[in-house]
Amino acid sequence: MAYASIFLLLGGTALLSWPLGRGMAWAMNPSPTPGAVRSRLESILQKFGGKALAVEQDWKQYTLSLLLFNAVLFAVVYLVLALQPLLPLNPDGKGAIAPSLIFHTAAAFVTNTNLQHYAGEVTMSYFSQLFGLMWLQFVSAATGIAALTALARGVAGRTALGNFYADLLRAVFLVLLPLAVVAAVLLVLGGLVMTLEGSVVAQTLEGAAQTIARGPVAAFAAIKQLGTNGGGYFGPNAAHPFENAGFFTNAVESMAILLIPMASVWMFGRIIGRMRHAAVIFAVMGLLLVVTVGLANSFESAPAPALNGLPVAAAANLEGKELRFGPAAGPTWGVLTTATSNGSVNAMHDSFNPLTGLIAMTGMWLNVTYGGVGVGLINMFLYIIVGVFISGMMVGRTPEYLGRRVETREMKLALLAILIHPLLILGGTALFSATAWGAATVHNPGFHGFSEILYEFTSAAANNGSGFEGLGDNTVPWNLATGLVMLLGRYLPMVLPLAIAGALAAKPAAPETAGTLRTDTPLFASVILGSALLVGALLFMPVAVLGPIAEHLAVVHP
């Protein structure tokens, strides 16, 4: 029954992604002769955005606009959080926030990471949640969709990649906002809280008074899942009953996590005019997702290590799970949220069996299994460039991707973008494992404590936002270090692929011949899958052995 529900969840989302991909292509890449409805929408967006939307931009101008806009976002949100005690919509009187935590939180939400070193209902006012954080979940997700749209135009041979501000508005108003309204309505119908009133005081069965936090939760949860943001309105995130009420809302939110990342692949295929190529990419990502979901559920079917040797019946690991969702929901969500860089949780990842935790980290290490909205496919694009280059060199031909030569410059940029990811993870993990900055904050010494530090930097670099927890991570070193990792891990792997796309677009198209590596075959699927797995294994196998694998072996053979 559990596997049947997983099959329906993944299959249903995949089916929905097809029409959504068509709609996203229509929204993000209007044809030169749009219809009446599309023309009217464009005129409304241009009136809203002003003359800046009419200027076509090359990859350098597009990238500069993207970086400047996100820098302004960071400054605005930092200011909102710093002034929280003075701003309205604060019925519970939330106080000032520490400067290092403000920096960390602003970096987390601007970069679509939403890594939280605070409990939302304890720290943030309604104004901070709505006007400091929730709207960022729209524009940060829209930035990823815009970047993918520009990349697709470059791959298709257009030297003008469009206009970042126009793409941003299209993504917000034509893609994210309509979907968020539908999702929020479904979540309210499923029992999620939606109010601007303050906390309520209830009397427990024992006669004690209990203060229960609430707020505009359904609206927050809808965009956090659709935009692969993942930040929790409440500290327990989607394990909280007000943020995820039961089986129905769990299914809706699970599908929302996957929907736009899946549809982004079809949008990419439509913009470049290569739907069979998009199908190959979709199949590779789908294979990775199905395999990791199956492995996670298999590993989590073993009893919790804490029960070893105790006179209790053997059962699946239920530690840290919300049983109202069913036993398979925790590991399945754990894979979906780390494969897509969503980062929300409906179970305690720190309580997963060691190899289940390894599967979650693997999704973030590879960072190509659909990934975050837009940027997941951008990450896969890097492995495509590497795979194409290696394949061309092996057969003695100049490597080509979709008719344009991949030369040394593109290969260098791709490798640099790929290597930034492990550098941020491994460098940060080594530093904090060897110093009191990290070692003094670990509550579970040994292999698991190392995994907690490793997971935190993995989550920050992958712009994921989930955590193993078990760390006292709301400290100045943790806030500053992971804040910087999130910023570098977001923008460098986004800017460098745009540079590659700009370089490819400037080259003349070469005609396909009998020796051209086709991009719509099982062989090409094997090339990109092998590239991702090989690079991931070489870079991360040592830390995997030091952390979750060593912990697993210690549990099995104590």
Single-letter code of the amino acid located at 452: E
DSSP labels, 32-44: SS--HHHHHHHHH
Q: In this structure, are residues 145 and 153 in contact, taking their beta carbons and an 8 Å threshold?
A: no
Report the alpha-carbon distance of residue 45 to residue 174 in Å, rounded.
Answer: 10
Is residue 55 situated within a structural domain? yes
> pLDDT class for 488, splitting at 50, 70, 90?
very high
Q: How far is CA 226 from CA 71, 213, 257, 258, 472, in A?
A: 23, 24, 5, 8, 29
pLDDT for 1 = 56
Q: In this structure, are residues 376 and 264 in contact, taking their beta carbons and an 8 Å threshold?
A: yes
**Which helix (H) or strand (E) element contains residue 555?**
helix 550-556
DSSP labels, 235-264: TTGGGSTTTS-SHHHHHHHHHHHHHHHHHH
To which residue do tokens 């080259």 refer? 507
Most confident region among 112-121, 228-237, 346-355, 424-433 by mean pLDDT: 424-433
Q: Name which of 156, 468, 192, 208 is nearest 343 in CA terms.
A: 468
Is residue 512 situated within a structural domain? no
Range of the domain at 217: 14-263
Report the alpha-carbon distance of residue 453 to residue 469 in Å, rounded.
Answer: 9
Q: What are the φ/ψ torsions at residue 218 (nearest 5 degrees)?
A: -60, -45
Is residue 75 situated within a structural domain? yes
Q: Long-range CB contacts (< 8 A, 24+ apart) of 499-502?
A: 499/59, 499/63, 499/413, 500/154, 500/381, 500/385, 500/410, 500/413, 500/414, 501/59, 501/150, 501/151, 501/153, 501/154, 501/155, 501/161, 502/58, 502/59, 502/60, 502/154, 502/159, 502/161
Is residue 299 situated within a structural domain? no
Q: How far is CA 383 from CA 80, 275, 299, in A?
A: 39, 19, 28
Q: In this structure, are residues 512 and 402 in contact, taking their beta carbons and an 8 Å threshold?
A: no
Q: How many CB atoms are located within 10 Å of the residue 530 CB? A: 14
Return the bridge partners of 211, or none. Answer: 201
Instruction: Provide CB contacts within 8 A for 280, sequence distance 6+.
Output: 519, 520, 521, 522, 524, 525, 528
Say what the pTM is: 0.93
To which residue do tokens 């040994």 refer? 446
89 vs 460, which has greater pLDDT?
Answer: 460
Single-letter code of the amino acid located at 367: N
Report the alpha-carbon distance of residue 133 to residue 147 in Å, rounded.
Answer: 21
The answer to which of 70-79, 82-91, 299-308, 416-425 has the lowest mean pLDDT is 299-308
Q: In this structure, are residues 329 and 3 in contact, taking their beta carbons and an 8 Å threshold?
A: no
Is residue 286 situated within a structural domain? no
Is residue 477 situated within a structural domain? no
Number of domains in the chain: 1
Is residue 328 situated within a structural domain? no
534 vs 458, which has greater pLDDT?
Answer: 458
| Structural tokens at position 529 | 């899958």
| SS3 at position 55 | coil
Instruction: Provide CB contacts within 8 A for 423, sequence distance 6+.
Output: none
Single-letter code of the amino acid located at 199: S
Q: Strand ranges (DSSP E) for 160-254?
A: 200-203, 209-212
Strands 209-212 vs 404-405: parallel, antiparallel or unpaired:
unpaired
542 vs 210, which has greater pLDDT?
Answer: 542
Q: What are the φ/ψ torsions at residue 244 (nearest 5 degrees)?
A: -160, 95
With a cut of 80, say whether residue 50 has pLDDT above it: no
Q: What are the φ/ψ torsions at residue 302 (nearest 5 degrees)?
A: -75, 155
Report the alpha-carbon distance of residue 37 to residue 331 in Å, rounded.
Answer: 43
pLDDT for 71 = 96
Q: Name which of 262, 259, 333, 322 is nearest 296 in CA terms.
A: 333
To which residue do tokens 């030169």 refer? 32
With a cut of 70, say whether residue 485 has pLDDT above it: yes
Q: How far is CA 155 from CA 60, 502, 505, in A?
A: 15, 8, 6
Report the alpha-carbon distance of residue 366 to residue 155 in Å, rounded.
Answer: 23
267 vs 54, which has greater pLDDT?
Answer: 267
The answer to which of 14-23, 229-238, 401-410, 486-495 has the lowest mean pLDDT is 229-238
Per-residue pLDDT tens for 366-417?
Answer: 999 998 888 989 999 999 999 888 888 777 677 888 888 888 899 999 999 9
| Structural tokens at position 478 | 């943790």
State the Cα torsion 340-346-350-351 to the nearest 10°: -130
State the Cα torsion 46-151-156-376 to the nearest 10°: -120
With a cut of 80, say whether residue 313 has pLDDT above it: no
Per-residue pLDDT tens for 314-339?
Answer: 777 888 888 888 778 889 999 999 99
Q: Name which of 119, 75, 233, 83 is nearest 474 in CA terms.
A: 119
Report the alpha-carbon distance of residue 321 to residue 353 in Å, rounded.
Answer: 12
Report the alpha-carbon distance of residue 266 to residue 21 in Å, rounded.
Answer: 5
Is residue 139 situated within a structural domain? yes
Helices 247-272/275-300 angle, 10° precision: 150
> pLDDT class for 311, splitting at 50, 70, 90?
low
pLDDT for 230 = 84
